Amino acid sequence: MNRVSVLFYLKKSKMVADGTAPLYMRVTVDELRIELSAKYFIDPVKWSQGAGKVIGNTEEARKLNTYVRNMEQEVYEAHRQLIQEGKVITAETLKNKLLGKKEPIRSLIAIFQEHNMQVATLVGQEYAPSTLTRYKTTLKHCMEFLKWKFHVKDIDVKDINHEFITSFEFYLRSVRKCCNNSAVKYIKNFKKVIRICIANSWINKDPFVNYKSKVREVKRDYLSEEELEKISQKRFVSDRLNQVRDIFLFSCFTGLAYADVKKLKRSEINVGVDGGKWIFTSRQKTETASRIPLLPFTLQLLERYKDHPQCVIKDRVLPVPSNQKMNAYLKEIADICGITKQFTFHIARHTFATTVTLSNGVPIESVSKMLGHTNLRTTQHYAKILDKKVGDDMKILHDKFSSFNSVTSETPKKML
């Protein structure tokens, strides 16, 4: 509950020629103050600061003291009305109420656009370009939702409530045909803007209270050892396919995402603690450090492209084309090799986590470190899909207990 106090005082610093001083009212709300002129000038001799009134029983004194009490009562009445209206009570909102000023409308779309402009300014420093793209897409969906649901172009953030959130989610799933995870991510991006509104006291109550959503686990495709071997041994007629295949395999054996392979500099290949060559880089997505020992096969790939013009000019370890071209060429490679899985560049990162490392006994903590994950639970998603690893681990247990026989073949007696 906000604490409100009222004090009347003479501002003697503004005393006029006839020796009177202006009367002011000071309203304090949770230690924040506002001052309003009472529009009266009083002789300081006739004013009792302790009693907060004019001394005497004259008609003029009674009239002025009544005026002061009425002003005080207006403050508490304005405070009561703000509470009744469910408004955020601050010194400023109370002042606006007393003066009859309307509070400024905080526009959702304008706030969202301002947020996106700030993100755009920080792309390359605090945000990846893909993050900006997601916020822009969320804003676009939000604008279309307002037209679909309310037939308006914008809305006051004070009007956003729990029903608004659930309706927006329904719109994303039904009209926009978003899958569960996409809808959840758009709502999460929208929540970032709502948190800004709450932090600035533009919204009194969090509309996300009692709202729950959950990202569903997605089946992650990865290549088996046989499929890796098939791709690595295949010699394509086209040089561009051979080059794309090499870049893809480099990611399969390092776990680097497309953006991280593309930006990888020669200076980021250095000697590690074991005396071998390591990658020392940071993930573009999370800015988390990744330290990855290079296997002999990946060193051969680096050697193959050390004199490539694109690598020499741009100080890169591999000549990586655009992500769109990479995925188009990878689909062509999959068709040639007879691989029917959803074949994109990101499957290489999954292959590193599963087939290359976890399946071969590399501890999950080490895999998580090399992948640059900020949370071990993220890496555990890969461990869940390794039925082969479970089978291999249980085979050891099976062999150990294969000679273990029951102590007795008798039927156990009924327990008392």
3-state SS track over 279-299: EEEECCCCCCEEEEECCHHHH
Closest CA to 108 of 72, 82, 145: 145
- Amino acid type, 182: S
Same domain, 303 and 361: yes
- Which residue among 46, 81, 99 closes a domain? 99
Same domain, 245 and 357: yes
Chain-centre distance for alpha carbon 80: 38
Same domain, 114 and 84: no
- Which residue among 99, 122, 152 closes a domain? 99
Q: What confidence category does residue 416 fall into, taking pLDDT thresholds of 50, 70 and 90?
A: very low
> Residues 285-311: pLDDT tens digits?
666 778 888 898 889 989 998 889 988
Q: What is the mean pLDDT of residues 18-38?
A: 88
Please give the Cα distance from 411 to 152 (Å, whole number): 78
Percentages helix, strand, coil for the chain (3-state, rounded to 5) are 55, 10, 35
The domain that holds 171 is classified in CATH as 1.10.150
Q: Is residue 45 part of a domain?
A: yes
Q: What is the mean pLDDT of residues 18-32?
A: 88
List the domain range (segments joined by +) for residue 240.
Answer: 225-398
Q: What confidence category does residue 170 fall into, taking pLDDT thresholds of 50, 70 and 90?
A: very high
Q: What confidence category does residue 387 fall into, taking pLDDT thresholds of 50, 70 and 90?
A: low
Q: What is the mean pLDDT of residues 96-101?
A: 82
Place of tokens 């390092």: 254
Share of residues in the chain with pLDDT > 70 (%): 89
Please, what is the average pLDDT of the chain? 85
To the question of pTM greater than 0.85 for the whole model, the response is: no
For position 415, what pLDDT does the model report? 41
Same domain, 161 and 184: yes
Please give the Cα distance from 204 to 157 (Å, whole number): 10
Helix (H, G, I), strand (E, B) or coil at 321: coil
Q: What is the mean pLDDT of residues 393-404?
A: 69
For position 9, what pLDDT does the model report? 92
Q: What is the mean pLDDT of residues 87-108?
A: 79
Domain count, the chain: 3
Q: What confidence category does residue 167 fall into, taking pLDDT thresholds of 50, 70 and 90?
A: very high
> Residues 214-257: pLDDT tens digits?
877 666 778 888 888 998 888 888 889 999 999 999 999 998 88
Contacts of 413 (CB under 8 A, 6+ apart): none
At what angle are helices 162-174 and 180-199 packed, to 10 degrees?
Answer: 150
- Which residue among 43, 72, 99 closes a domain? 99
Same domain, 148 and 233: no
Same domain, 239 and 293: yes
Same domain, 271 and 367: yes
Same domain, 343 and 306: yes
Q: What is the mean pLDDT of residues 143-162?
A: 90
